[in-house]
Amino acid sequence: MGELAKIESFCELSKTNLTFKREVSKDEWMDVFKALKQVEGCVQFWIGDCLAYRQQKWGMYDDIAEETGYDKQTLKNLKSVSENVLSTVRLPNLSYTHHAEVAKLTPEKQTEFLNKAVEEKLSVRELRSKIRKDGIEFKSSGLPTGKYRIIYADPPWNYGDKRDGRTTGAEDHYPTMTIEELCQMNINDITQDNAVLFLWVTSPLLNECFEVIKAWGFDYKTSFVWDKVKHNMGHYNSVRHELLLICTKGSCTPDVLKLHDSVITEERTEHSKKPDIFRSIIDELYTYGSRIELFAREEKHGWNKWGNQL
């Protein structure tokens, strides 16, 4: 039985909703949840609805992240959006990320802004701007106080991809930021005079990212290459790598003179999730000093964190 057929034997599926046809056991639920990960193009609402069902019936779901290979914070985010945006409010001709943008609003405001997004063909960024202009504030985006020596950042780059007039790619997973918006972040204000920046970027934005590096007060030095093993379709080639740029402000060479291989091979898992080995390399090279992860997805011991996916 194919993975989609396995899911459909238990569930009713639409583009924006998953509901179980009958009461299921924990084992049956786990079969469905594991199958979701294998379905190409599976929308995030299915995963969130599946998690909401489990919590309502059996309580918390913290035990399943490791068993199923999902990131804990990703599961938390998906369930939160599914619980806050009711199936009656969801619109099939909008992306999941459009719905995530309105998740913290009242149901009435959710309907108002989602309908406006359809009528005016708003991108996620344009929808976010409309909501803010209406006087509704999102979770505070202010940067933390303090001065940091080590900065690790995985920005939500905006690729400007569209298909049939709709955003695709990263915008379907999380709110993105333009080069201008990233440059306007006052990262220079939260870094020490001598600091190091480890910045994730993909090849299509390699040229533009140097504007961000300069705006944040750093100079490019070198890079690591993450060999993801699995391929993604690109415009000019089949892409299986991503770049981690090393940039410094003042003088901030490594504390430990160990030369790691510049190419690290780790099979990719969830969208945008980076292997823990890179953070471990940073900790090994830079043994002291305050450190922060920007656009963080999860908490890590010894690191401060900032980001809207926490």
How high is the pLDDT of residue 1?
Answer: 52
pLDDT digits 0-9 by tens, 183-195: 988 899 899 999 9
Q: What integer best gives the mean pLDDT of the chain?
A: 84
Mean predicted confidence (pLDDT) in 90-97: 88
**Cβ contact 298:71 at 8 Å:** yes
The rounded distance, in Å, linking the Cα atoms of 169 and 71 is 19
The rounded distance, in Å, linking the Cα atoms of 182 and 262 is 26
Q: Count Cβ atoms within 10 A of the Cβ of residue 6 and give its class: 0-12 exposed, 13-18 middle, 19 or more buried.
A: middle
How high is the pLDDT of residue 140?
Answer: 37
pLDDT digits 0-9 by tens, 156-183: 898 765 444 444 444 544 567 889 889 9
**Which has the closest alpha carbon to 211: 182, 190, 189?**
182
**Cβ contact 78:8 at 8 Å:** no
**Cβ contact 196:248 at 8 Å:** yes
52 has a pLDDT exceeding 60? yes
Mean predicted confidence (pLDDT) in 38-55: 80
Mean predicted confidence (pLDDT) in 29-48: 80
| pTM over 0.75, yes/no | no
